[in-house]
């Protein structure tokens, strides 16, 4: 996963947290993700592991491996995801904009 992929994930996580009214503390209280991990993901830190991204995606209610698919730029997998159609559409738009501008 490249820097652009991590930046896409960071944008998606920030947006999803805002849409869901979630704070780092509320995510951490769910017991799955440490607030430090959330900070690192939101800063596009390259040391965040795939396992951490899976856990954060689960905590945010995303389909399995959604954040990883966003990170590697797999539009087809994101489009085929079972989940909120508005989220999927927004994510695909984000990914396509990134492909054209980044």
Question: CATH number of the domain that 12 lies in?
Answer: 1.10.260
Position 102 pLDDT exceeds 60? no
Tell whether pTM > 0.75.
yes
Q: Which long-range contacts (CB under 8 A, 24 or more apart) does 15-24 make?
A: 15/90, 16/60, 16/62, 16/87, 17/60, 20/60, 20/61, 22/60
- For the chain, give the mean pLDDT: 89
Domain residues for 82? 3-101
* pLDDT bracket for residue 101 (50, 70, 90): low
Residue pLDDT, tens place only, 50-60: 999 999 999 99
The total number of structural domains in the chain stands at 1
């Amino acid at each position: 996963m490249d820097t652009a992929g991590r930046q896409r994930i960071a944008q998606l996580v920030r947006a999803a947290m805002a849409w869901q009214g979630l704070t780092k503390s509320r995510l951490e209280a769910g017991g799955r993700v440490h607030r430090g991990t959330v900070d690192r993901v939101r800063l596009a830190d390259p040391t965040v592991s795939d396992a951490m991204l899976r856990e954060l995606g689960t905590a945010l209610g995303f389909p399995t491996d959604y954040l990883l698919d966003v990170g590697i730029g797999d539009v087809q997998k994101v489009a085929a995801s079972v989940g909120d159609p508005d989220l999927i559409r927004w994510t695909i738009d984000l990914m396509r904009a990134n492909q054209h501008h980044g």
